[in-house]
């Protein structure tokens, strides 16, 4: 898609997740923080969703959301920017840590233009996105027609496929952002 913002030629999609602290506010403030950067243009945020932990054992439910926006940053620089925001919100990435852990904030770069990239620290499109209801449901709300560059299916097509799987976790609850928060 051609960018409507000449200074921000690259479109990107990000998944937000939090299951420690006031997760609803953490995700909302992280979205605002993302927009403060001079290298990021308009960023649309989905509704928040309450979800169960996937791939980990935790008593803490997640708040998940997705955003689609525009940037002048290259993929690796955008990843570093996202990791910087995670750190600002208290995310600690332990060296040698195995498996998923509870976290104050997780920002995953899902898609970047129609790029296919496989680097040691960054894989685009995100290799698990089409298998995760907590990613696809919010992303379909704001970027249903965004095409996955490997499968050539749209986000909504991937969501429909996932919803047909017998073990698909449909226990996802759509929430609303706190009123008066400037969305």
Tell me the pLDDT band of 85, cut-offs 50, 70 and 90: very high
Mean pLDDT of 132-144: 96
Contacts with 60 (C-beta within 8 Å, 6 or more apart), sequence order: 19, 20, 53, 102
More confident residue, 117 or 104: 117
Q: Establish whether 103 is a catalytic residue.
A: yes
Contacts with 153 (C-beta within 8 Å, 6 or more apart), sequence order: 130, 147, 161
Q: Would you state the pLDDT for residue 59?
A: 79
Q: Which residue has the tokens 């403030």?
A: 29
Set out the domains of the chain in order of their start, with CATH numbers: 10-169 (3.30.70.560)
Considering the candidates 32, 37, 50, 108, report the single residue annotated as catalytic.
108
* Burial readout 98-135 (b: 16 or more C-beta within 10 A, e: otherwise): eeeeebbbbbbbbbbeeeeeeeeeeebbbeebbebbbb
Q: Would you state the pLDDT for residue 174?
A: 93
Report pTM.
0.91
Q: Establish whether 108 is a catalytic residue.
A: yes
Tell me the pLDDT band of 166, cut-offs 50, 70 and 90: confident
């Amino acid at each position: 898609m051609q960018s409507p913002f000449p200074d921000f030629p690259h479109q990107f999609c990000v998944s937000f997740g939090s299951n420690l602290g006031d997760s609803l506010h953490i995700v909302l403030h992280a979205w605002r923080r993302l927009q403060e950067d001079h290298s990021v243009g308009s960023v649309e945020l989905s509704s928040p969703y309450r979800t169960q932990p996937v791939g980990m054992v935790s008593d803490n439910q997640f708040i998940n959301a997705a955003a689609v926006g525009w940037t002048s940053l290259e993929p690796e620089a955008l990843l570093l920017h996202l990791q910087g925001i995670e750190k600002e919100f208290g995310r600690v990435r332990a060296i040698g840590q195995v498996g998923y852990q509870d976290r104050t904030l997780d920002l995953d770069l899902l898609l970047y233009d129609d790029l296919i990239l496989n680097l040691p620290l960054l894989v685009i499109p995100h290799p698990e996105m089409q298998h995760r209801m907590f990613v696809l449901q919010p992303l379909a709300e704001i970027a249903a027609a965004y095409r996955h560059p490997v499968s050539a299916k749209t986000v909504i097509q991937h969501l429909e496929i996932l919803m047909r799987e017998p073990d698909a976790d449909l226990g996802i609850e759509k929430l609303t952002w706190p009123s008066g928060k400037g969305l």
